[in-house]
């Protein structure tokens, strides 16, 4: 490790500590003075949330404040250094993440119309595409734009749906961000310094918030936080975990590009896929909240809220390093690796379905006994 790399790591560690402190302070102040913010629909909250008691959904505001602080920090770097790169991709990520925050804030305050919410999410994807932040998997712009739009909107909804139990979305998002930071530090820390600062800032924001969000939680992040995180994670993952093609292979679509994000986001993808399939089978809308997520059914099995969070953290802690190792080329890409990655995802998916069904059965038995 050269001297510049050491300085970068020291700088990022200091900024992480500062970001965590600011996040903790902001959430502590909000908790003291804003008990009603983000509780606009108590009936809806009790249907979606595992906990029945209403708590302020204010964490997302602290995410955005620290995110803005991260953006301002770039002004402290020398303008003639490689650290300072303000291009349209960066502006696109800032603009789309800001729109995601505003969308979530409006949803927490006014329970936004689903169509308006979809249009706003579509706008986030459009901003990223025109900013050259899009998934390049085929070389066909129209096809790539469609894949990008599906990824951005899908992930915004996936992160939002995962936020149904204490600390789940917070810890899973933290593990994903740690994977992104590790990848950038190894590959191109100097050229991607601004992205590193943003990622470290958001990681600090989540760390400070986690103190209040760990079970038993005092506050939630709300749609303000989940919508912001959804577009922020979608855009940064596009830059660093989607767009690496093995040029000269002659393949129209390379499975490696899909496997790495699949492993990185394995928990929200499995949860969203499970909920979507099961609700469609019941002819229900996948976008209406309910207590039918993998988190809920793990709880029905008898796991405490903290144990559920721990199980999912462990799954992510195994999957994220695998994604980073494949992206870095530490694991040689072969058909065996391809099949193993998809097999790993499929086995985890099936395992959660078995646990889901078992938890559902136990819950039905419990309800039948309580009603008799």
DSSP 66: H
What's the angle, vertex CA 198, arms to CA 135 and CA 76, rounded to 5? Answer: 130
What count of other Cβ atoms lies within 10 Å of the Cβ of residue 273? Answer: 17
Q: Is the pTM here over 0.75, yes or no?
A: yes
What count of other Cβ atoms lies within 10 Å of the Cβ of residue 343? Answer: 10
Instruction: Write down the pLDDT at residue 137.
Output: 87
- Residue whose C-alpha is closest to residue 257's, from 356, 124, 151, 359: 151
State pLDDT tens for residues 89-112: 989 999 999 999 999 999 988 888
268's tokens:
């929200």
State pLDDT tens for residues 231-243: 999 999 999 998 7
Please give the residue that has the higher pLDDT: either 257 or 5: 257
Please give the residue that has the higher pLDDT: either 41 or 28: 28
What ranges do the domains of the chain cover? 3-371
Instruction: Write down the pLDDT at residue 235.
Output: 97
Q: What is the C-alpha end-to-end distance of the chain, expressed in Å?
A: 67
Q: At a CB cut-off of 8 Å and minimum separation 6, what does 151 contact?
A: 135, 234, 238, 242, 261
Annotate 206-238 with DSSP letters as a single string.
HHHHHHHHSSSPS-B-HHHHHHHHHHHHHHHHI
State pLDDT tens for residues 306-355: 999 999 999 999 999 999 999 998 998 888 999 999 999 999 999 988 88
What count of other Cβ atoms lies within 10 Å of the Cβ of residue 33? Answer: 8
Give how far Cα 16 sits from Cα of 10, 235, 272, Å: 10, 21, 30
Please give the residue that has the higher pLDDT: either 162 or 42: 162
pLDDT confidence tier of residue 84, bands split at 50, 70 and 90? very low
Average pLDDT, the chain: 86
Instruction: Write down the pLDDT at residue 330.
Output: 92
Nearest-angstrom CA–CA distance, 65 and 221: 13
Please say whether the dihedral angle defined by the alpha carbons of residues 93, 112, 118 and 281, taken in this order, is positive or negative.
positive
In angstroms, what is the C-alpha Rg of the chain?
Answer: 20
């Amino acid at each position: 490790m050269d001297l510049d790399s050491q300085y970068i790591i020291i700088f990022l560690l200091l900024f992480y500590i500062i970001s965590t402190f600011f996040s903790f302070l902001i959430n502590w102040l909000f908790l003291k003075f804003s008990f009603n913010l983000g509780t606009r629909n108590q009936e809806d909250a009790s249907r979606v949330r595992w906990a029945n008691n209403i708590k302020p959904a204010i964490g997302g505001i602290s995410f955005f404040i620290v995110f803005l602080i991260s953006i301002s920090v770039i002004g402290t770097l020398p303008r003639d250094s490689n650290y300072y790169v303000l291009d349209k991709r960066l502006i696109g990520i800032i603009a789309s993440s800001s729109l995601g925050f505003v969308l979530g804030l409006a949803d927490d305050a006014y329970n936004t119309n689903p169509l308006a919410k979809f249009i706003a999410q579509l706008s986030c994807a459009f901003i990223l595409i025109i900013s050259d932040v899009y998934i390049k998997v085929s070389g066909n712009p129209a096809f790539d734009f469609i894949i990008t739009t599906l990824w951005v909107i899908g992930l915004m909804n996936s992160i939002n749906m995962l936020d149904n139990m204490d600390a789940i979305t917070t810890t899973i998002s933290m593990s994903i961000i740690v994977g992104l930071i590790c990848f950038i530090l190894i590959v191109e820390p100097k050229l991607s310094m601004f992205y590193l600062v943003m990622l470290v800032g958001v990681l600090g924001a989540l760390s400070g918030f986690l103190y209040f969000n760990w079970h038993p939680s005092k506050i939630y992040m709300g749609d303000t936080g989940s919508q912001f995180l959804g577009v922020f994670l979608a855009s940064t993952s596009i830059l660093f975990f989607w767009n690496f093609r093995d040029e000269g292979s002659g393949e129209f679509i390379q499975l490696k590009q899909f496997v790495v994000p699949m492993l990185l986001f394995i928990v929200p993808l499995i949860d969203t896929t499970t909920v979507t399939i099961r609700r469609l089978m019941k002819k229900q809308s996948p976008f209406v909240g309910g207590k039918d997520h993998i988190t809920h059914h793990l709880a029905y099995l008898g796991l405490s809220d903290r144990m559920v969070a721990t199980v999912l953290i462990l799954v992510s802690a195994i999957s994220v390093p695998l994604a980073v190792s494949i992206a870095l080329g530490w694991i040689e890409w072969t058909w065996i690796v391809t099949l193993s990655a998809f097999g790993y995802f499929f086995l985890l998916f099936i395992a959660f379905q078995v646990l889901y069904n078992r938890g559902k059965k136990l819950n039905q038995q419990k309800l039948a006994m309580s009603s008799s």
